[in-house]
Amino acid sequence: MSELLLKNVKVVTHDRDEPIDADVAIEDGRIVRVEPGLSTAGEVIDGGGRLAFPGVVDAHQHWGIYNPLPEDAESESRASAQGGVTTALTYMRTGQYYLNKGGPYAEFYPEVLRQAEGRAYVDYGFHLAPMSSGHIGELPDLVERFGVPSFKIFMFYGGHGLHGRSNDQSSFLMLPEGERYDYAHFEFVMRGVQAARERLPELASEISLSLHCETAEIMTAYTKLVEEAGELSGLAAYSASRPPHSEGLAVFIASYLAHETGLGNVNLLHLSSRKAMDAAVRMAATFPHIDFRREVTIGHLLADVDTANGIGSKVNPPIRPREDVEALWEYVLDGTVDWVVSDHACCRDEVKFGEPRDNVFLAKSGFGGAEYLLPGLVTEGRRRGLPYGRIAALTSWNPAKRFGLRTKGTIAPGFDADICLVDPAQTWTVRAQDSESTQEYTPFEGFELTARVTDTFVRGHRVLDSGKIVGAPAGRYVSRPA
């Protein structure tokens, strides 16, 4: 007999387009049966015919970038649960922001784990960025000791600041004296990741490198051109200052370096434009021996430079014109895109905006959005004919398999009971004040969505009940593979 039974739900999984009517039996945090007509002596929750999606694996968040990590781990995980997220993988690195520390990960990362412990309402893990040569030598230890098999390169950091203009590596990146964060470093990181894959062949398919693909020199030149011309403002100006061919060029460079170094697993993050995605497709055809995965964000799928709510929508890479949004949807619908994420980075009003407030080049980059991940994708995806099963693959199965989350990603016996109930016929208007995030604004303010997450379960713990966060934090650190 199970201890928890979800009855009367329509179960959505990645391996079939449409949901099936079934009950879901849960015991000790795991799913034990999925079939109609189940019974239990334990707790019964009637799903009321709602869709039961596998909990979202949001593979791209940033806890602790603008706020203290313990605060973000709590508030932003609450916001995540509102969007159906049950596992958040958040990017972390040494240098300015995050813990504002340099040094080896052997000292840095345990502090990260201590600060997050016991705070989160959803399960969580971290990707790490090898910023220095010393970090490259730590990669096998990070995999084996700490359960971190996924790493990141920020391709523009060495020559263009996080928010624009600055190329001061010494203070921003906190690098050891004499080191640079440049293409040579990227090559050596790739060699290090591949060496870890070869040292740990049983984990090789789950060890990967992710890249933020933008080209510093192009962005620096175009930022100057856009500001001097003075013809554009707001999000349109920021998009023009970081043009799509900057993304495409970086994809080409990263792909060739992966080929040169023999790196087999490459993730191309938050591709925002037709040119970036076209470059990614071309490189996959050119180097078929590399397992490329392509990511887009819900922000780039829902908003454009004209519909996003003001310069609070500044992000890297930028929100683009409508033609790029439509192009991304073409790639989602034809199966080119592997997963959809939030790139959630809570940036409060007092931190986000510069003086004057309407100058986009003075604003910080990044915003939250995990609350709208699954509702937004269901709303817009279904309107465009995207099957429910494909939505489950994009939000759960595909990222879970890539990043070593072996017990997450689907609703089936033996998997964690990470489930969210979705009402696909509830129309509502996005208001920042309704979010559990501490961010006071949202790029999606006023957007009308036609699907809503009503309940979220993390390993059988109900953390969202009828749209409200309940209980104490139940999230755990996930050491991967898990």
Q: What does the alpha-carbon distance between residue 362 and residue 356 come to, in Å, rounded to a whole number?
A: 8
> pLDDT tens-digit profile of 40-59?
889 999 999 999 999 999 99
Q: What does the alpha-carbon distance between residue 375 and residue 470 come to, in Å, rounded to a whole number?
A: 20
> pLDDT tens-digit profile of 325-370?
999 999 999 999 999 999 999 999 999 999 999 999 999 999 999 9
**Domain 55-406+427-449: homologous superfamily in CATH:** Metal-dependent hydrolases (3.20.20.140)
**How confident is the model at residue 170, as a pLDDT?**
57
- Cα angle: 91, vertex 96, 98; to 5 degrees: 40
Q: Examine the pLDDT at 318 and tell me if it is beyond 60.
A: yes
β-strands 339-341, 123-128 pairing:
unpaired
Compute CA distances 450 → 76, 376, 412, 424, whole Å. 23, 8, 27, 6
> pLDDT tens-digit profile of 12-21?
999 999 999 9
User: What is the amino acid identity at position 352?
Assistant: K
Q: How confident is the model at residue 166 (pLDDT cuts 50, 70, 90)?
A: low
Q: Examine the pLDDT at 164 and tell me if it is beyond 60.
A: yes
> pLDDT tens-digit profile of 253-301?
999 999 999 999 999 999 999 999 999 999 999 999 999 999 999 999 9
Domain boundaries, the chain: 55-406+427-449
